[in-house]
Structure 1
Amino acid sequence: MIRLAALDIAGTTVAEDNQVYRVLADVVAAHGTPAAEADIRRWMGADKREALAALTGDPSAVEELHGRFVTSLRAAYERQPPRPIPGVPQAIAALRESGVRVVLTTGFDRQITDPLLDAIGWRAGEDVDAVVCAVEAGGGRPLPNMIHRAMELTGVTDPGEVLAAGDTALDIQAGRAAGAAMVVGVLSGAQTRAELAAEHPTHIVADVTRLPLLE
C-alpha cells in the first residue's frame, strides 16, 4: 500500500516549457563553456549547483553562476509563468483524499521554488504535505536523499510504501536508489520514453493524472 508520493516539480507537476534547461544552457555558454544538448539532458533533474559545476568544470564559480541562473530563470518565469499541468491538482487532491501523503521534490533551491509555488498558488500543508529542495536534503538526484527526507517529514519508514515520480532519468535513478515500491517516469516533461525506460522504472505514464490509477 502506497502511503507517500514523492513528486518532482518542473515537468512533472508544473509545466514551465523547459525554460529551466534553456536558462541553464545559456548560463553555461555565457561562462565560456558551452555544453552540447546531450550534456544538458544528462543533468535534467539534478541539483542546479551540481549541474553548473559539472557542465562548466569550474566549481569555484558555482555560487556566482547559480546567482545568474536564479536571476535569469526568475525573469523567464515572469515573462512566461509556470502553471500546473492540467489535471495534476485534482490528481494530487485525490491521492491525499485516499490517505497518500504528497511531497514535492526539486533540484531548485528556495530562491526559485518558493516564488514558483507562490505563483501557482500551492502551499505546503494545504495543497501538498511538504516541499523538499535538494540542498536541504544533503544532495540531489540521483541520490535518494530527497525521497528519504520526504519520508522523514511524513513519518513513512518503509520504502515499500513509497511512490516516486518524475520526468527525468535522474528522478528514476533516485527512486530506485531509495527502494521505492513504485518508480514512475512521466512523459509530461523534457525526456523521452526511451530515455526513461533505459532506467527501468516500474511504470511509465503520460502524466501525474495517471498516478491515482496505478496499482
Structure 2
Amino acid sequence: MSTAVRLAALDIAGTTVDEGGAVYRVLAEVVTDHGATPEDEDIRRWMGADKREALRALTGRAEVEDLHTEFVDRLRAAYAEVPPRPCAGVPEALAALRARGVAVVLTTGFDRQVTDPLLEVVGLEVDGVVCAEEVGAGRPSPAMIRRAMGLTGVDDPAEVLAAGDTVLDVEAGLAAGAGLVVGVLTGAQTRRELEAARPTHVLDGVADLPELLGLAVGTR
C-alpha cells in the first residue's frame, strides 16, 4: 500500500488487552441467569459487539439496562479477581507506532464504566479511546473508526489500519474503508473465522503490526 498509515484503530479485549475471556464468560452467565439458553455459537456471533446490542439479541428483550448494569458489575468483579494485562508485545508495539507518527486509538463495545478502570490497570499509552455508546452504534458499524479519525485529524480512510480479534472488528474496518484491516489471533476467534470475513491480513497479534508497517520495535 503506497499510502502511509497515520491511524491505528485497535479493539481492546482480546486484541490489545488479555482479560482471559472474562467478557464473554460473564455475558453468557448473565443471559443464562435471566432465562436465555445461548449456545456457544450464539455468544461467538456477538463477539466485538456493543454489549447492550448483544444483550438485546441474546435475551430477546427490548430494554436491557438492568442486565447491562449486572453485566458491568460482574465483569468488574471478574477483573478485580484476575486483573487484565496487555497482550504480549503490545506496549512495545504501540510505542513503536506512536514514535513514527501513527496515532493509536482504542475502540470498544464496552462503555466507560468498564473501559476506564480497565485501561487504568493495564496502563497502555494511546491517543484516544472510543466507546460504542458514544457514537450510537457498535460494530460492524464503522462509526467508532470514523470517530477515531475525527479525533486524530485523519480524513482519508486509506491512512487507517483497523485491527481486532473478531469478525465484527474486521467487518467494521472494511465498512470504514480502512487501508489495512487486520484480524489478530490473540482473542477467541480462529484464523478460519477471521479469514472468512476477508481482512487484508491475519496476524498472530498486535505485536506484529510494526513489522507489517516496516517499523522497528525498540526495547524498554
TM class by shorter chain equals over 0.9
Structure 1 consecutive aligned stretches of length 4 or more whose deviation exceeds 6 Å = none
Which runs of structure 2 are paired with 1:11-160 in the superposition (5 Å)? Answer: 11-60=14-63, 62-122=64-124, 127-160=125-158
Q: Percent identity?
A: 67
Counterparts of 1:140 and 1:93, CA distance in 2: 27
Q: 1:42 offset after TM fit, Å?
A: 0.3
Structure 2 residue aligned with 1:186: 184
Counterparts of 2:136 and 2:153, CA distance in 1: 19
Q: 1:151 offset after TM fit, Å?
A: 0.1
Counterparts of 2:16 and 2:45, CA distance in 1: 20
Q: Does 1:166 align with 2:164?
A: yes
Secondary structure of the 1:17 match is: coil
Report Cα offsets for 1:72-94 as digits up to 9, x if no partner: 00000011110001210000000
Counterparts of 1:120 and 1:84, CA distance in 2: 6
Counterparts of 1:190 and 1:10, CA distance in 2: 10
Counterparts of 1:31 and 1:115, CA distance in 2: 27
Secondary structure of the 1:188 match is: coil
TM-score, structure 1 length as denominator? 0.97
Whichever residue aligns with residue 57 of structure 1, its letter is G
Report Cα offsets for 1:60-111 as digits up to 9, x if no partner: 2x10000000000000001111000121000000000011000000000000
Counterparts of 1:2 and 1:138, CA distance in 2: 26
Report Cα offsets for 1:18-74 as digits up to 9, x if no partner: 1100000000001101211000000000000000000000012x1000000000000
Counterparts of 2:161 and 2:17, CA distance in 1: 18
Whichever residue aligns with residue 34 of structure 1, its letter is T
Counterparts of 1:128 and 1:67, CA distance in 2: 27
Counterparts of 1:81 and 1:59, CA distance in 2: 32
Secondary structure of the 2:83 match is: coil
Q: 1:121 offset after TM fit, Å?
A: 2.2
Q: 1:137 offset after TM fit, Å?
A: 1.4
Secondary structure of the 1:204 match is: strand
Whichever residue aligns with residue 96 of structure 2, its letter is A
Structure 1 residue aligned with 2:218: none
Counterparts of 1:67 and 1:99, CA distance in 2: 38
Counterparts of 1:121 and 1:200, CA distance in 2: 32
Counterparts of 1:6 and 1:213, CA distance in 2: 17
Unaligned runs of 5+ in 1: none
Counterparts of 1:177 and 1:121, CA distance in 2: 30
Aligned length: 210
Counterparts of 1:162 and 1:208, CA distance in 2: 15
Counterparts of 1:186 and 1:91, CA distance in 2: 14
